[in-house]
Amino acid sequence: MLGFQYVVAKSRELSSVVEREISGVTNRSSSFVAAFDGGAAAASTEEKTPAEVYEASDRNEGERFLRIQQNRQLQAEQNHHRLLDSGQELETALRQARATLQAQATSEQFLAQNFHLVSHVRRELQNMHAIVLRVAEEADCVEKLLLQRCEENVARQKADLASTQQLELEKFEIQIARESEERKRKLLEMKREELSRAFVKDLQTYQMRVTPCEGGSTTALDLQEEDWKQESLDEVELVVMANSDQLEAFYESEHEDEEKQFVSNKIEKWTESRVPGDKCDAESTVNEKEIIGMAERSKDI
């Protein structure tokens, strides 16, 4: 601000000096012009002398001097205006610098006065950051523990389901084996009865053909039939022994298809009765290979 006041004072001083010079020049030129007008009026009635010619030349030289002074005055005024403009720009820059310095001083003063509060806030922020990091680590640990527990529960459920299915499969195999054995036993009993009846019939026919047809043969045959009925098949002495391979092939050839159809129907009923869960569909469905193996084992039995 002092620099701007100094510039303004110097500019005013220069302007006053220029104005004084201009006023002095104008006064001299006005007196010279008045004298020239009086001389011109006197010379209008008289002839011109060499002194008057000399005065006319002096008047032209004064006009040149005035022009030079006017140019200098215009230049001085322009310089003065430029100086004023630069002074205003300087004042603006100084005002901005002063505002910046005041803001810096205010902030420094605030920091100096509230340094303990700022340091306390910084410590609190550091503590909060440490707490957030600790909470994040604990959350990761909890997530890992939950994943581990979930995996253990899933594995346990799968193991329980597998054991349950294995027990059910074993029970089903035992049931099929018992039913197959019972059915085979019934079929064997039926075959044995049929064979015994056929053997008795063939034996009667043979006896009738061998024994001569005499009177009273009917009564003898009736008695023999009663004796044969009382006797069991095991007590009859067989003349021709049957081949075991032929008998086995005979039994299996007739009832093998029925046995397969029976086993397949049981397997279909058991698979339809099974209702798999939503989460363990892949584990609850019975494997086809196990069912086929089970059917083969039951057929072998």
- Which one has a higher pLDDT value, 66 or 60? 66
Whether the Cβ atoms of residue 176 and residue 298 lie closer than 8 Å to each other: yes
Maximum separation of any 2 CA atoms in the chain, in Å: 225
| Residue 129 pLDDT | 94
Range of the domain at 174: 134-197+232-300
Q: Is residue 28 part of a domain?
A: yes
Domain check: are 11 and 73 in the same one? yes
Domain check: are 90 and 238 in the same one? no
> Distance of CA 115 to CAs 105, 118, 119, 124, Å?
15, 5, 6, 14
Q: For residue 125, give both structure tokens.
A: 């922020």
Share of the chain above pLDDT 70, in %: 51
What 3-state DSSP class applies to 277? coil
Domain check: are 164 and 253 in the same one? yes
Domain check: are 159 and 256 in the same one? yes
Domain check: are 70 and 185 in the same one? no
Domain check: are 274 and 165 in the same one? yes
Domain check: are 27 and 89 in the same one? yes
Domain check: are 99 and 185 in the same one? no
Compute the average pLDDT of residues 266-289. 53
Domain check: are 94 and 171 in the same one? no
Q: What average pLDDT is seen over the chain?
A: 71
Count other Cβ atoms within 10 Å, centred on residue 16: 10
Domain check: are 147 and 254 in the same one? yes
Q: Looking at the predicted structure, is the pLDDT value of residue 208 above 80?
A: yes
Instruction: Compute the residue count for the chain.
Output: 301
Domain check: are 20 and 110 in the same one? yes
Q: Residue 30, class by beta-carbon neighbours within 10 Å (0-12 exposed, 13-18 middle, 19+ buried)?
A: exposed
| pLDDT tens-digit series, residues 90-131 | 888 888 888 888 888 888 888 788 888 888 888 999 999 999
Q: Is residue 26 part of a domain?
A: yes
> Total domain count for the chain?
2
Separation CA 44–CA 35 (nearest Å): 14
What residue type is assigned to position 27 of the chain? Answer: N
